[in-house]
Amino acid sequence: MKVNKSKVSKTTKNDLITYGMVILTYIVVQLLVSTGHVSSLIQGLLVPFCTYVIVAVALNLTVGILGELSLGHAGFMCVGAFASAVFSLAFKEALPGGFRFFLALLIGAASAALVGFLVGIPVLRLRGDYLAIVTLAFGEIIKNIINALYLGVDSNGVHFSMKDALSLHMEEDGLMLIKGAQGVTGTPNDSDFTVGVILILVTLFIVLNFIHSRTGRAVMSIRDNRIAAESVGINVTKYKLIAFTVSASLAGVAGVLYAHNLSTLNALPKNFGYNMSIMILVFVVLGGIGNIRGSIVAAVLLTLLPEVLRGLSDYRMLIYSIVLIVMMIFNWSPNAVFFRKRLQQKLLPGRKAEKEAV
Amino acid sequence: MSFVAHLINGISLGSVYALIALGYTMVYGIAKMLNFAHGDVIMIGGYVVFVTASGMGINPLAAIIISMAACTVLGVTIERVAYRPLRGASPLAVLITAIGVSYLLQNVALLVFGSDTKAFSNVVTLPNLELFDGQLIIKSVTIVTVIVSIIIMAGLSFFVKRTKIGRAMTAVSEDQGAAQLMGINVNGTIAVTFAIGSMLASVAGVLLCSAYPSLTPYTGSMPGIKAFVAAVFGGIGSIPGAFIGGILLGVIENLSKAYISSQLSDAIVFSILIIVLLVKPTGLLGRKILEKV
Amino acid sequence: MALLETKNLGISFGGLRAVNAFDISVEKGQLYGLIGPNGAGKTTIFNLLTGVYQPDEGAILLDGVNLTGKKTIEICKAGIARTFQNIRLFHDMPVLDNVKVGLHNHYPYSTFEGILRLPRYHKVEKEMNAKAMELLEVFGLEKYADYKAENLPYGQQRKLEIARAMATNPKLLLLDEPAAGMNPNETGELMETIRFVRDRFEMTILLIEHDMKLVAGICEKLTVLNFGEVLAQGETQEVLNDPHVITAYLGE
């Protein structure tokens, strides 16, 4: 029993380090801001930082723990962003700020979870690379639909159209919620850096506890060996769906944070498109697949770096793509794995290679 | 009449999808990987023709041959440098690498050629076909596209069934280990598959850019993804499946653009993917593979 | 009544008749061997018994309950556990967690309770850890509890796979070539372990093996399979001395 106890405390310790790191960073940043050491440019980036961190952690749950690739996490963000923005706009006057934002969070998370669940049903039964391509397709569908969607509310109730604003036939007093490609305007600015950091901590709490629970073990067993997992009675589709739905809903939370930091919300290729999904994937790969803390560090560094090194901005995407390829070959190529193992044995003889805690 | 015109345009676009889908399906069947960069090879093929034909004034036909050669080399290089080291690694790693390669090609093109749209001059200079006293005009590029695709598809089927390399490809796709034991050069066969796929991609690139004469670094990415949908639709791994899937997808896309909504046509195409996976995951002509335990 | 009974079990792959008219009857507590040349259909039978493949015809009965056509998960819950010819561990997870995945269905709490770490999470996890450590101790693996499964020595990986299968609390344990790749010392140790599992848990064990020393040493009954059909069946010594069996193994 002794061995086992030390293990539990070790993973707990590791999780605490992760939480502590986030809180410490928060305190340092707040100090720097209050003493005027942070440029307004960087200050404007603080909430997007938090958004990227949350969505990167969410994606790592799919890629690292479930072992499937999603290229649609920007799409889930998009769902969370628009669902919550529409809610907050509609109840801008009726509800007080804090409570409204809390409800907006629940709505954003729930709608992204629902969509993730629906996308997951047909795909997670299948093997192979289908999830990647279907989530990619889904991201494009969402963007297309939102750009064609007109939604308004007036004294007669809710109106919607896929054609134009006029065909809504709204009353004079009506309020436009989504104006097609022009998106949502006038969302209350409910999120700030503090809210963002709290949401990061909540996300971490959910993801880390998920991983160390019975459900998380079942999910990881499927990742490691689906056939063996089935043979010991693990319901493969069920646990894949649970993990994917949780991951999608957290991406939705990131979307809520994002939407409530902007006065105008559009579904553009830049923020919710395929490129954004790839960016998030780069964070996850660079931070280490399955390494939650790594995702946080990578998301912050890679967002900060281009701002600091402005001259490199033309080459930024090029560098990301090369990093992606090199990292994958270096970390996953059977030859490289073999080489590293041998090197490890040579350099550190007798040291037992324990599981790296997440 | 307009319905017939939309239908014909759909078949033409579908033929391009079919050519791209052939590359996807062959590589997927043999290397068991989704070559995400395939769509971007198309774009590179387009740029090569643009630079040689429009830029240097080389005869279009010669430009196409140069482009096919360039894409073949590119495809084989990608396979050798990025994918081969990962053979035997987890499919997730291979997939992420392929995404990296796709991204790399796009960004190299962006740096070299810039983000502005290049006006691609049609390489098909034959006169258009006018039917019913000019009520129905079929562009010559449309006819050429369809004919070229049919020829390539027939040639490829012949190649895979009748030649030694083609049969080696079938063997590798069935069982890599067993093929190796039978003395087949697995790496070589996979390289040939990439070469053929990339060559077809370059032809597809030229035809695509001739029909829709604008070229940017992102030209290949959307048709590439749609062609993959076509390959899944027809049954991944099946050559006739890729062809049928491509044509159907092109027709569906064009008809929904014309009669439902041009903004939602992509959404409709992608919804088909989800429906196919839900109803018949093996696609129209695919077959079920039993997993070894 | 026999614990495991199959009647006229058969399956074809394309034109190949992999298993034909397979009948077996394993008594409770028996150590039963399934032997035969490579490609005789032994693993296919395991795959049929565990629902990886569905039989074309015939029936599978466990303790009188018809399991024909059931899925792998249901069969696991009904009480058949197995190991694999090529070891299939959860390689990136700790040894302890491998066993805990095996315990999964017997120690329930919800995902929600797990995320919020409600009291039941702590209680059940504690019970699970105790049970998993107990199993690891049975197999002498307790000192490896923290190791990643893929870092275990080969022989210990085989043992861990058996421990994981035992964690599902089965009525019948299927072992697919447990001694494959082992040296004589390790095989000897494995024979002890298998016997021990049978005695300690009163387990019924059906095993596929090529190592004749192991088969002759621990199996009480044997079925010999050749080209998907039963060639001989009965007491171990009788079967091993059967001229048909010797021919099948050594050729004409």
Q: What is the mean pLDDT of residues B132-141?
A: 74
How far is A345 from A358, CA to CA, in rounded Å? 23
pLDDT exceeds cutoff 80 at B129? no
Q: Is the Cβ–Cβ distance between A96 and A116 less than 8 Å?
A: no
**What value, to the nearest 5°, has the Cα angle with vertex A176 and ends A174 and A178?**
155
How far is C230 from C19, CA to CA, in rounded Å? 9
Q: What is the mean pLDDT of residues B140-147?
A: 85
Interface test with B, best of C52, C82, C161, C208 (most B CBs within 10 A): C52
Q: Which residues pair with A157 in a beta bridge?
A: A154
From the DSSP assignment, how many helices (H) and strands (E) are in chain C? 10, 10
Top-level CATH class of A2-347? mainly alpha
Q: What is the mean pLDDT of residues B86-104?
A: 89
Q: What secondary structure does DSSP assign to chain B, as a single string? A: -HHHHHHHHHHHHHHHHHHHHHHHHHHHHHH-S--TTHHHHHHHHHHHHIIIIIIT---HHHHHHHHHHHHHHHHHHHIIIIIGGGTTS-HHHHHHHHHHHHHHHHHHHHHHH-SSPEEPPPS--SPPEEETTTTEEE-HHHHHHHHHHHHHHHHHHHHHHHSHHHHHHHHHHH-HHHHHHTT--HHHHHHHHHHHHHHHHHHHHHHHHHHS-EE-TTTTHHHHHHHHHHHHHH-TT-HHHHHHHHHHHHHHHHHHHHHT-TTTHHHHHHHHHHHHHHH-TTTTT----PPP-
Q: What is the dihedral of CA A62, A212, C122, A20, to 10 degrees?
A: -100
How far is B249 from B270, CA to CA, in rounded Å? 10
Parse chain C into domains and list their residue ranges. Answer: 1-79+170-252, 89-167
pLDDT tens for each residue of chain A, 358 residues long: 444 444 556 788 889 999 999 999 999 999 999 998 888 888 888 999 999 999 999 999 999 999 999 989 999 999 999 999 999 998 888 888 889 999 999 999 999 999 999 999 888 887 667 888 888 888 888 888 888 888 888 877 788 887 777 777 777 777 888 888 888 888 888 888 999 999 999 999 999 999 999 999 999 999 999 999 999 999 999 999 999 999 999 999 999 999 999 888 888 877 888 888 888 998 999 888 899 999 999 998 888 877 777 667 678 788 888 888 998 888 888 888 888 777 776 765 544 444 443 3
Q: Which residues pair with C62 in a beta bridge?
A: C4, C65
Task: Nearest chain C residue to B291 by CA: give it.
Answer: C52
pLDDT digits (tens, 9 = 90+) for B187-242: 898 999 999 999 999 998 888 888 887 888 888 888 888 998 898 888 888 888 89
On average, the pLDDT of chain B sits at 86
Are C92 and A224 within 8 A, CB to CB? yes
- Chain C, residues 27-86, CB within 8 A of chain A, namely 50, 52, 72-73, 76-77, 81-82, 84
Are A220 and C90 within 8 A, CB to CB? yes
In a 10 Å sphere around its CB, with 0-12 CB exposed, 13-18 middle and 19+ buried, how is residue B14 labelled?
buried
ipTM for the predicted complex:
0.91
* Low-confidence residues of chain C: pLDDT under 50: none
pLDDT range class, residue B1, cuts 50, 70, 90: low
From its phi and psi, is residue A250 left (phi > 0), alpha (psi between -120 and 50) or beta? alpha
pLDDT range class, residue B165, cuts 50, 70, 90: confident
**What value, to the nearest 5°, has the Cα angle with vertex A220 and ends A217 and A226?**
115
Parse chain A into domains and list their residue ranges. Answer: 2-347
Q: Does C158 touch chain A (CB under 8 A)?
A: no
Superfamily (CATH H level) for C1-79+170-252 = P-loop containing nucleotide triphosphate hydrolases (3.40.50.300)
Q: Taking CB atoms and an 8 Å cutoff, what residues of chain C touch A225?
A: 88-91
Q: Taking CB atoms and an 8 Å cutoff, what residues of chain B touch A62?
A: none
